[in-house]
Structure 1
Amino acid sequence: MATPQEELGIRIEEALRQRFAERTAVAETYGESFASLWRAAAEHALGGKLIRPRLLLEAHRALSASYGGSVDSVAAVNVAADVELLHYAFLLHDDVIDGDLIRRRRPNLIGVLAAGRGDEPGDADLHWARSSAILMGDLLLSTSLLGFARARVSTGTRVRLLDLIEHTIVETVAGEHTDVGLSDGRIAPDLRTILAMSTYKTATYSFSLPLRAAAILAGASPEVEEHLAAIGRHLGLAFQLQDDILCVFGDAALHGKDPYSDLREGKETAIIAYARMTSAWPHIEGRFGSLTLSDDEAAAVREHLRTCGAESYAQSLVTDELAAASAVLRTAEESRSISAEVAATVRSLLARVESRRA
C-alpha cells in the first residue's frame, strides 16, 4: 500500500502524464518532428523529485484541515502539476542561457536533440536543439499559465491564483535577467544584488509559489498567505545558498551537478561576493570564469575560497535565513493566523532544508 508521500507523487505524475499525452496527440497534427519534441520533453520532465508540487499538496492538506477546503481537491493536484510544468519551462530556458547539455547527470533535452546525428554536435545541431528547447519552454510556460486560468475553482480564487502566477513569472524572470547581467559583467556583483537575485530567481517560484497557491486553494486568508510567502522567501534563499555551497564544496557524486561548473561559468554567488572582499581574491580572480579551468585549478580555487572564510560565511547566511523563517512562523503562531497543523508542516519543511548541508 502506498504511503501518503508516495500517493502524492503518483497523483502528480498521473496529472503530468495526462498533460503531455494530450499535447503530444495534438502535436501529431503538425508533423512527426513536433510530436517527437513533445515526447522527448515528457521523458525529461517526468521522473523528477517533484519538490514544488509535493510542497503545494502537503501544505494544502494541512491548510484544508484548518480552513475547510477539500483535502483531496482535484484542483490542487492540477495546479500542482502546472507548477511543475512552470519549473521545467524555466529549466529549459536556463539550460539555453547557461549553454548546459547535462542535467541530473545525463544529457538534458538540448543534449539529446543535439546528439541526434552524431557524437560531437556541430553548430547547426546545437542551434536546432537550443531553438527547440526555447520553443518547448514557451509552450510549457503557456500550458502552466492556462492551467491556472482553467482551474475549477471560484472566480475569487481564480483571480488570486492568476495574480500569483503573474507575479511569480515576472519576479523569476527579473531574477534570471539579473543573474545573466551579473555573469556578463553588466551588473555590479555586490552582495545585496546577489541575494536579491537568488530570492527572485529561486525562492519565489520554488517555495513561495507552492505555499501561497496552497493557501489560496484552501481558502486561507491573505494574512496567512503573506506569512507563508515570507517563510517561502527565507527558505528559498537558504535553499539557493545551499545549492551554491554544494556546487563548490559538495560531493558532485551526491548532488548530481557538474563539479566546479559554477567556477568555470563565473557564477556570481554570495561565496564569490565575500571572497572579493578578502586578500585571497587576487589568487582567485584570474581563474574565476575560465571555461578551460582544469579540475586541479578548480580545486585550488576552492581551497582559497575555503581558507578565506567564504564557505563559512555562506553557511552563516543559510543559518540566518532559516532563523528568519522560524521567526516568521513563531509570529504567525502567536497571532493564531497559522494553525498547529500548518505550523507542523512548515517545521517539517524547515528541517528538510536544514538537512541539505555540504
Structure 2
Amino acid sequence: MTITSGALRTRTELCTAVESELTTQIDRKAGAAAAYGPDFARLWTLAGKNVLGGKFVRPLLLMETYDALQQGAAQPGLVARRETAITIAGAIELLHYAFLLHDDVIDGDLVRRGHPNLIGSLLEEAGELPRPDGALHWAQTGGILMGDLLLSGTHQTFARAELPHELRLRLLDLLEHTIDETVAGEQLDVGLGDGIVAPELGTILMMCGYKTATYTFELPLRAAAALAGASAAVENSLARAGRHLGLAFQLQDDLLSTFGDPGQHGKDPFSDLREGKQTAIIAHARMTNAWQDIEPFFGRPELHATEAEHVRRKLADCGAQQFVQALIDEQMMAFTHLLTSFASPIPPAARNVLLELAAQLEGRQS
C-alpha cells in the first residue's frame, strides 16, 4: 500500500487506508489459497467479508495515536514509517479476527453482528451430511484453521516489516506478550464458566484485563509509541491508560449484555445468564442474600424470558448493577488522572485521542 498525499488527518481517510491494507493482505492470501482448492480458498473469501465489516477500533487507535505522537516530531525517517504503521495496524485487526474465530468455536457461536459468522456460513453451505454432526464439525474446523492462519499471517507481517532490527524485535516481543495474555484470559474465562476456576472477583477482573485490555488497547498504544519513536515513559503511560480503559470497556460490556437494551446492542439480552458467564455482576451477587434466588436459574440454557427478567431484577436489587458501575467509574477516574496529571509524559495530542475515545466508550449503548 502506498500513501501519496502526506498524513491522513480524518477518521474516514484512516478507515479507507486500513480497509485498503486489509484488502491487500487478504487478497494476497486468497490468491495463494486457490492453488489448494476451492474449499480452502472459500475460507479466505469468508474471512475477508467478515473482517471488512468491523469497526476497526484497534487499527484506528494505533494510527490516531501514532499521528498524534508524530506532531512536531523531527526525527528523520519517521514520515516514511507511516506506511509501515498502516500495515501493522491492519495486521492487528487480523489478529483480532483470529481471536474472534477461536472464541466462536469455544462458545459455539454461529452469529456475529446479527449475521452468520464464518462458522455459521460454512454450516449453512454444508447442508446435510451423512454424519449427523458432520456439518458443524466441518464448519468449526474451518473456524479453527482460519484463526490459525491469521495468527501465522500476523506474525509474518510483523517479522517482515521494513523497520530497524531492534524495533522489529520489540514489536515481535509485544505481539508474543499479547497472544500469551489473550490466550491466558480465554483459558481463565472457560475455566470460570466450567467451574474449574473459583469465581472470585479478583480472578474475574484479571481475566477481563487479559482478554480485552491487552490486545484491544495496550497493543495498539504500545505499537504506536514504538513506531513513533516515543520514549519508554510515554509508552508505559499509554499502556497503563489502555489497561484502565480496557477493563472499564469490558465491565461496561457486561453491564450492557445484562441490563442494556437489546435493540441497541443487538445481542441476546439473557445470553450471559443462560451460559453461566462469570462476570463481576455475578461475583457481587454471590456475596449477597439474593444469590439463593438467582443461583437456581443461573447457567440454565433453557432459561425463558420471564425467569431471566426475575434474575435481572434480583441482580439490580442486590446492588450488582450499581457495584459494577462503581468499578467502571473507578477505572475511568484512574484513567483520567493518569492522562491529566501534571507529571504525565503523554503529549497533549495523544492525550486528546484517548480522552475522545473514553468519551465515546462512556456513551456507547452497543
Classify the TM-score, shorter chain.
over 0.9
User: For the Cα contact (< 8 Å) 1:80–1:210, is it kept in 2?
Assistant: yes
Q: How does 1:187-206 map to 2 (within 5 A)?
A: 187-206=197-216
- The alpha-carbon deviation at position 337 of structure 1 amounts to 1.9
Q: How many residues align?
A: 355
Unpaired runs of at least 5, structure 2: 1-7
Answering whether residue 186 of structure 2 is matched by residue 176 of structure 1, we say yes
User: For the Cα contact (< 8 Å) 2:81–2:227, is it kept in 1?
Assistant: no
Amino acid at match of 2:142: S
| CA distance in 2: counterparts of 1:37 and 1:340, whole angstroms | 43
Which residue is 1:114 aligned to? 123
Q: Which moved more, 1:320-329 or 1:118-127?
A: 118-127
| CA distance in 2: counterparts of 1:312 and 1:70, whole angstroms | 47
Which residue is 2:29 aligned to? 23
| CA distance in 2: counterparts of 1:43 and 1:341, whole angstroms | 34
User: For the Cα contact (< 8 Å) 1:67–1:220, is it kept in 2?
Assistant: no
User: For the Cα contact (< 8 Å) 1:66–1:339, is it kept in 2?
Assistant: no
Write out per-residue CA displacement over residues 111-150 of structure 1, whole angstroms, 9 at most, x where no aligned residue: 1111114499951111000011000000001111111111
Amino acid at match of 2:93: E
Which residue, 217, 233, 258 being the options, matches 1:207?
A: 217
Unpaired runs of at least 5, structure 1: none
Which residue, 320, 337, 350 being the options, matches 2:345?
A: 337
Amino acid at match of 1:314: V
The normalised TM-score by structure 2 is: 0.93
| CA distance in 2: counterparts of 1:19 and 1:163, whole angstroms | 22
Which residue, 172, 183, 208 being the options, matches 1:162?
A: 172
User: For the Cα contact (< 8 Å) 1:241–1:318, is it kept in 2?
Assistant: yes
User: For the Cα contact (< 8 Å) 2:128–2:135, is it kept in 1?
Assistant: no
Answering whether residue 16 of structure 2 is matched by residue 7 of structure 1, we say no
- List 4+ stretches of structure 1 deviating above 4 A: 119-122
Q: Which moved more, 1:169-178 or 1:291-300?
A: 291-300
Answering whether residue 317 of structure 2 is matched by residue 311 of structure 1, we say no
- The alpha-carbon deviation at position 89 of structure 1 amounts to 0.1
Q: How does 1:1-358 map to 2 (within 5 A)?
A: 4-68=10-74, 69-70=78-79, 73-118=82-127, 122-331=132-341, 334-335=342-343, 337-356=345-364
- The alpha-carbon deviation at position 6 of structure 1 amounts to 0.5
More helix by share: 1
- The alpha-carbon deviation at position 335 of structure 1 amounts to 2.9
| CA distance in 2: counterparts of 1:203 and 1:300, whole angstroms | 32
- What is the aligned-residue RMSD (CA, Å)? 1.8
Amino acid at match of 2:59: P
Residues 122 and 43 from structure 1, CA distance in 2 versus in 1: closer, same or farther, beyond 3 angstroms?
A: farther
Q: Secondary structure at the match of 2:299?
A: coil
- The alpha-carbon deviation at position 329 of structure 1 amounts to 1.4
Identity of aligned residues (%): 52
The normalised TM-score by structure 1 is: 0.95
Write out per-residue CA displacement over residues 133-172 of structure 1, whole angstroms, 9 at most, x where no aligned residue: 0000000011111111111111121121111111100011
Residues 31 and 118 from structure 1, CA distance in 2 versus in 1: closer, same or farther, beyond 3 angstroms?
A: closer
| CA distance in 1: counterparts of 2:80 and 2:27, whole angstroms | 27
| CA distance in 1: counterparts of 2:80 and 2:62, whole angstroms | 12
